[in-house]
Structure 1
Amino acid sequence: MTAWSGPMVDAHQHFWEPARGRNPWLAPGAAIPFRYGDYAAIKRPYLPADYRRDAAGHDVVETVYVETEWDPADGIGETRYAAALQAEHGWPNAIVAQAWLHHDDAAEQLARQAAVPLVRSIRHKPGGDGRTPGLMSDPGWRRGYAALARHGLHFDLQAPWQAFAEAEALARDFPETLIVLNHAGLPADRSEAGLRGWREAMARLSDHANLRVKISGLGQRGRPWRAEDNRAILLETVSLFGAARCMIASNFPVDSLCGSLDTIFAGFKAIAADLPQAEQAWLFRDTARAVYRTGGAA
């Protein structure tokens, strides 16, 4: 079979300028617990020109900007920042915005975000680890979540697979809202038992038609990004959900801590090369276009 060489949509990437002081976790001296360990190397400006340079050799035609844990008191400010980048540089082509669904003003936040033409989805990391319930079980948070459908917004869910019982309830109770699972459910534990638990949790989640998956963010702490380490994750996810419900993404510049963008994209293409071209088209372009309405699908 032949590896994908056509146009790509990067379904999950970030731009930022830490010197503006809008991302507390990127401030000088800040050090939050981070799954890749020391992240000082990404405390630098990352703008469309940087991304284009990193993506040279891959035909990325559209990107999806995902919120960057901007100052939570000014979520709409981040959205306007991303929209201004699009007006100047042509990227991003869709925005996953920030909103704190358990706050008293959640309805107002969602209305303001939905009014920005590029906004397609909302991300707010709800926590939960399978032992302690996260916000997905909180009645106030769920009231905010219920308002997504009124604005035609999706929900980008970043949570570890151990919290998927809560995610299943969310998918079941709000079938009209599309959930986009970030980073393939964070399969950080690559032991045999860890991968078995991840696979079983993903299989249960795949039963819900309102789920889509981003295959991204698969770096491992202290290890360089290698296709052979991530082959089973990609192929198992596609087997469970089908290519038309999956999309490839870079998670750049965060995943630059693990490998170059060329290494990651070339690795994903090599892994997917044995799939039919129609399935590769869904993975690298069409699912993201359908979900985030980028480019010609907007």
Structure 2
Amino acid sequence: MQIVHAPHLPVREDWLALGEEPVLEPDLPIVDAHHHLWDRQSGRYLIDQFGKDVGSGHRIVSTVYLQCRSMLRQDGPEAMKPVGEVEFANGIAAMFASGAYGPTRCCEAIVGGADLTLGNELGSVLEAMLHVSGGRLRGIRNPLAWHESPEVSSSPVTPPRGLMLDPSFQQGAKALAGFGLSLDAWVYHTQLADLYELARVTPDVTVVIDHFGGPVGVGPHAHEREQVRTAWKEGLSHLASLPNTRIKLGGAGMSVFGYEFASQELPPSSEQLAAAWRPYFETCIELFGPDRCMFESNFPVDKGMFSYSVLWNAFKRLASSMTTDEKAALFYRTAASTYRLQFHGDMS
């Protein structure tokens, strides 16, 4: 796989502070279903930075750590290097579980990055990950986002074209069922047909579609938002017909979505974000239903465009017309059931 410079927006704390808002519905329990942690040339986002964000006013009870190639092992076989990321995330989880960093159970579930094309080696890698995870490993994610245009980029790693249709990859995905693991997938809307085929041939594996299913708004799709939305909805409708699929609502702070809030003098308000994302939100609810949808922060990637507190205000505005039960599904129940999280205290 080709490794390039991360195309993430820079985080500007002073700029974000200009958009502070009162927290809406501060007692609503939330599971942040998707975030990362790292210490790399593009910046540091570790326990202090993330702890400050989850403690910014919303009731974040638990979080799910997602593969991002953090803390890969320096030595040993190439296939085993991603075990280091699971070990790292489990250490962060243990720190939060001590209660010394607040009430949130951060990294309570971990999605690691074992290479699913490994064949016979895959089992030993997954077993090693389970061993170092403290019982927290819940799923696997491989880089899958690919586009023929170099203007469409959202990750420092570019996978080979058509990886989801590769028999060795599909065999590895099927093997996850034997370990009780799910499969997360970040793909662009142009790849949803391939993802459908992958999900179809792995009926015993829960396939989680990341980041609204990736409706692209840059490069050749920069001025085709309606055409993109039509193709995106068609692709998602096929995926929604498979009972083993779930979808994450978020990730639209990435520049690949085509929003230009980061270039404005002031950061976007939660009202602006909710208005921009409502068509995607409503379509996902229509196709999957609240019990198969979950909100995610995708921090720190999305932090270049808005703050953690404003993001969750935007999600609460999107869900303002939902019933209490539907809100429970969107904000914590779907994530908790998908990633087998414990319910801590009063979740009502």
TM over 0.5: yes
Corresponding residue to 2:261 among 223, 226, 229: 223
User: Are 1:164 and 2:186 matched, yes or no?
Assistant: no
**1:53 equivalenced with 2:52 (yes/no):** yes
Residue matched to 1:22? none
Decide whether the 8 Å contact of 2:184 with 2:210 is kept in 1: yes
Q: CA deviation at 1:275?
A: 1.0
Question: Quick check: 1:235–1:272 contact (8 Å CA) kept in 2?
Answer: no
Query: Secondary structure, in 3 states, of the residue corresponding to 2:44?
Result: coil
Find the aligned partners of 1:206 and 1:270 in 2 and give their Cα distance. Answer: 24
Which of the residues 102, 105, 108 maps onto 1:93? 108
Matched, 1:174 2:202: yes
- Equivalent residue number for residue 31 of structure 2: 9
- Residues 1-298 of structure 1 aligned to structure 2 (within 5 Å): 5-18=27-40, 27=41, 43-55=42-54, 56-70=56-70, 71=72, 73=78, 74-90=81-97, 91-104=106-119, 105-115=121-131, 116=133, 117-129=135-147, 133-189=161-217, 191-219=225-253, 221=255, 222-224=260-262, 226-296=273-343
Q: Which amino acid aligns with 1:59?
A: R
> Which stretch of structure 1 is more off in the superposition, 196-205 or 221-230?
221-230
Q: How many aligned positions are there?
A: 273
* Kept in 2: contact 1:9–1:288 (CA 8 A): yes
**1:5 Cα deviation from its structure 2 partner:** 4.1
Alpha-carbon shift at residue 59 of structure 1 (Å): 0.2
Structure 1 segments (4+ residues) deviating >3 Å: 2-5, 70-73, 127-133
1-structure distance, mates of 2:254, 2:301:
12
Query: Shift of residue 128 of structure 1?
Result: 4.6
**For residues 261 and 154 of structure 1, what CA distance do their matches in structure 2 show?**
26
Larger Rg: 2
Q: Deviations over 1:2-33 (max 9, x none)?
A: 96841100000111222xxxxxxxx3xxxxxx
2-side partners of 1:118 and 1:77: how far apart? 14
How far apart, CA to CA, are the structure 1 residues paired with 2:213 and 2:190? Answer: 9
Structural RMSD (CA)? 2.2
2:103 aligned partner: none
Letter in 2 for 1:67: Q
CA shift at 1:47, angstroms?
2.0
Cα displacement string for residues 162-218 of structure 1 (whole angstroms, at most 9, x for unaligned residues): 111111111221100000111011112361111111111111110000000011101
- What SS does the corresponding residue of 2:45 show, helix, strand or coil? coil
Structure 1 unmatched runs, 5+: 19-26, 28-42
- SS, match of residue 115 in structure 2: coil
Return closer, same or farther for 1:256/1:235 CA change in 2, 3 Å cut-off.
same
User: Is the contact made by 1:211 and 1:245 (CA closer than 8 Å) also made in structure 2?
Assistant: yes
1:36 — aligned with what? none
TM-score, normalised relative to structure 1: 0.85
The TM-score with structure 2 as length reference comes to 0.74
Q: Deviations over 1:217-243 (max 9, x none)?
A: 012533245221111111211111000
Which segments of 5 or more consecutive residues in structure 2 lack a partner in the other structure? 1-23, 98-105, 150-159, 218-223, 263-267
CA contact (8 A) 1:8 1:284 kept: yes
